[in-house]
Amino acid sequence: MSNENDDATQLGSIGRHMSKPQQPGNPQARPAFQAPSLPTHPQEQDGDEEGTVLSTHNATPSRPTRPTVPMAQPMQAQPTQSTPTQQPLPQSQSAPVMATRQFPQTTAPSVKPAQPAMASSMMSAPQADITEFHELFAQLVGNVSQVVVGKEQPIRQCATAMIVGGHILLEDNPGTGKTQLARSLANSIDMSFKRIQFTPDLLPSDVVGVTYYDQKNGEFEYREGPIFASIVLADEINRASPKTQSALLEVMEEQKVTVDGETHAVPQPFMVIATQNPIEQLGTYKLPEAQMDRFLIKTTIGYPSHDVSVNILKQVNVIDRASTVHAVLTGNDVLRMRAISETVRLDDAIIEYIVRLVEATRHNERIQVGSSMRGALALTRCARVWAASSNRGYVVPDDVKQLAVAVLAHRITLTAEATFAGSTPEQMIEQILNEVPSPTVGAAA
Of all residues in the chain, the percent with pLDDT exceeding 90 is: 15
Contact residues for 122 (Cβ-Cβ < 8 A; gap 6+): 95, 96, 98, 99, 102, 345, 347, 394, 441, 442
Residue 158 CA to residue 273 CA, distance in Å, equals 9
| pLDDT bucket at 126, cuts 50 / 70 / 90 | low
> How large is the average pLDDT for residues 307-323?
83
| Band of pLDDT at residue 147, cut at 50, 70 and 90 | confident
pLDDT grade, residue 442 (50/70/90)?
low
The pLDDT tens digits for 258-292 are: 888 888 888 888 889 998 887 766 677 888 888 88
Residue 64: the pLDDT is 44
pLDDT for 267: 86
Q: What mean pLDDT is predicted for residues 142-147?
A: 88
By mean pLDDT, which of 115-119, 192-196, 317-321 is the weakest? 115-119
Q: Which of 176, 146, 189 is nearest to 322 (CA)?
A: 146
Which of these, 111, 126, 140, 151, lies nearest to 344 by C-alpha position? 126
- CB contact burial 42-55 (16+ within 10 A = b; e otherwise): eeeeeeeeeebbee
3-state SS, residue 168: strand
pLDDT tens digits, 1-13: 444 444 444 444 4
Say if CB 369 and CB 412 are below 8 A apart: yes
Provide the pLDDT for residue 381. 93
Distance CA 378, CA 408 (A): 9
**Residue range 216-230: mean pLDDT, rounded:** 85
More confident residue, 436 or 94: 436
- Could you give the CA distance from residue 268 to residue 4 in angstroms, rounded to a whole number? 86
pLDDT for residue 41 is more than 60: no
pLDDT, tens digit (0-9, with 9 covering 90-100), for 341-362: 988 988 889 999 999 999 999 9
- Say what the alpha-carbon torsion angle 89, 92, 98, 104 is, to the nearest 10 degrees: 0
Which pLDDT score is estimated for 318? 79
Average per-residue pLDDT for the chain: 74
Mean pLDDT of 36-48: 44
Helical axes 152-164 vs 373-389, angle rounded to 10°: 110
Question: What per-residue confidence (pLDDT) applies to 385?
Answer: 93
Q: Which residue has the higher pLDDT, 119 or 343?
A: 343
- pLDDT recorded at residue 137: 92
